[in-house]
Structure 1
Amino acid sequence: MTPPQPAAVLFDMDGTLVDSERIWSIALGELAREYGGELSDAVRLAMIGTSSVETMRLLHEDLGQPWRDPADGSRWIAARMVDLLATELTWLPGARELLAEVRAAGIPTALVTSTGRRLVDVAMRTIGATNFDVVVTADDVTVRKPDPMPYLTAAAALGVDPADCVAIEDSRAGVASALAAGCVVIAVPQEVPVTVVAERLHLRDGLLGVDLAALRDLVEGAAVHS
């Protein structure tokens, strides 16, 4: 007997499907140098999964320039990221293949990201807008990850119960958001380890080898323990 299908698969973008965290690091490093300083490795890691306002606060504090306007920095970063995403964005290993297999099976998909709509639209030139039935960006919610609202919004737009969905994430904030929404979660941390332990959380080194059969098994296991 075939295990039950996920009702939907909900994908994070940065650091999960595409290697955009590397691109963010380029832009943030360039802005730090514009301000006359250098972004420390520790603070760059602390920025992963945070909002643009929090990212700018961390940058300014790291440089000893807390008086700077975060809105100015966010605009500079957004403009630079448009160029970088258009030319530098690449898939992470296994991500494209998993997404294609899920789509071929007719399972609904959503992109659930803390990145703003303007930059997501640029990234979609690589990822493919037709790969997603729903796209939830930072501009589509009033509260961002780690709050569950982004994943609850995606599930509601698809008309599915989040408890029957698999969410795929890389950051601590994203994992917390998806778990709080009730999803089964696959975490593929890139630079910052995910240390939380939860029944519905499954850690992987990456998406290579993660296929639809694996997603079905996770949904079936979650149903047994619910």
Structure 2
Amino acid sequence: MPHPPVSAVLFDMDGLMIDSEKLYTIVTNRILAPYGREMTWEIKAGLMGRPALDSAAYLIAATDLPLTPQELLDKMDAQLLEAFKTVEILPGVLKLVQHLKAHNVPMAIATGSKARNFAVKSAHLPHLFEPFGSRILCGDDPILEGKGKPDPTIFIVAARLHLGIDTPEGRSKVLVFEDGAPGVRAARAAGMEVCWIPDPELLATMGDSHDLTPSHTHTSMEDFDPAAWGLPPYSS
């Protein structure tokens, strides 16, 4: 079945463009281990897409951890910043980004990541991030007033600032790529189409009982067909 045609694209980043979610899991469980705690996929599903302090508070509540959110973030930051220097691009992402850039399709990144973390994650991957220029909205940008996914603000603002789209009709022509459940909800609340590319472990954890309504679900960005959405087709 053909999808509604779109004319612009918004990308989430962590777990969607780059394999940083794996690093978050490793570092988080390294910190939790001395307290006899562990971050399960059920917990991680609730963390995805949240701003940093909100995410830390959620994790503390879920694991009964004897730390404040800021104390947890302080413990994680140094280890994460070092790990981010090695993060890898997920399959199919670079091909799509370079394809959209070559065909002048408007695109931007809307990520819950803090700007400082984004800078570290992207520094060794210029071939992936340079096509976006300055069209990147991070979760700690003051314009968002602390609102994180599943609130739709980040996508609405990214569309307005970086795609020049500021009407419900225009937003209906935007395709969002997301890996997290809160991001899917945020994109739908923003009135946008959304392609969900979840981690297999997340799908297994959520099962068939979730209430998400993505436009389409893929197991990998490699499976995405731009032509099915009215975007320029791949040449091969």
Name the TM-score, length of structure 1 as normaliser.
0.84
Question: Deviation at 1:63?
Answer: 4.2
The match for 2:104 among 91, 96, 106 is 106
CA contact (8 A) 1:39 1:59 kept: no
- 1: CA distance between counterparts of 2:57 and 2:212? 29
2:55 alignment partner in structure 1: 55
- 1: CA distance between counterparts of 2:212 and 2:49? 19
Tell me the alpha carbon deviations over residues 40-80 of structure 1, each in whole angstroms, 9 at most, x when there is no partner. Answer: 42323432333322332343344433x42111211222222
User: Which moves more between the two structures, 100-109 or 208-217?
Assistant: 208-217
Tell me the alpha carbon deviations over residues 145-169 of structure 1, each in whole angstroms, 9 at most, x when there is no partner. Answer: 1111000111101202222111100
CA contact (8 A) 1:37 1:63 kept: no
1:144 alignment partner in structure 2: 148
1:185 alignment partner in structure 2: 194
- 1: CA distance between counterparts of 2:148 and 2:62? 23
| Residues 97/71 of structure 1: CA separation in 2 closer, same or farther (3 Å cut) | same
Name the TM-score, length of structure 2 as normaliser.
0.81
Question: Deviation at 1:81?
Answer: 1.3
2:136 alignment partner in structure 1: 135
Tell me the alpha carbon deviations over residues 1-42 of structure 1, each in whole angstroms, 9 at most, x when there is no partner. Answer: xx9973321000011111111000011012113x43231423
2:82 alignment partner in structure 1: 83
| Residues 4/36 of structure 1: CA separation in 2 closer, same or farther (3 Å cut) | closer
SS at match of 1:131: helix
Tell me the alpha carbon deviations over residues 158-217 of structure 1, each in whole angstroms, 9 at most, x when there is no partner. Answer: 20222211110011100111111111110011132373354x621111111313213327
SS at match of 1:145: coil
Please, which runs of 5 or more residues in structure 1 have no aligned partner?
Answer: 218-226
- 2: CA distance between counterparts of 1:148 and 1:45? 18
SS at match of 1:146: coil
Opposite residue 102 of structure 2, the aligned amino acid is A
- 1: CA distance between counterparts of 2:212 and 2:81? 36
Q: Percent identity?
A: 26
Root-mean-square deviation over aligned CA pairs: 2.3
Tell me the alpha carbon deviations over residues 90-136 of structure 1, each in whole angstroms, 9 at most, x when there is no partner. Answer: 11111111111111111121111111111111111244332214111
SS at match of 1:192: helix
Mapped pair 1:159 → 2:164: yes
CA contact (8 A) 2:181 2:212 kept: no
1:222 alignment partner in structure 2: none
SS at match of 1:21: helix
User: Which moves more between the two structures, 119-128 or 142-151?
Assistant: 119-128
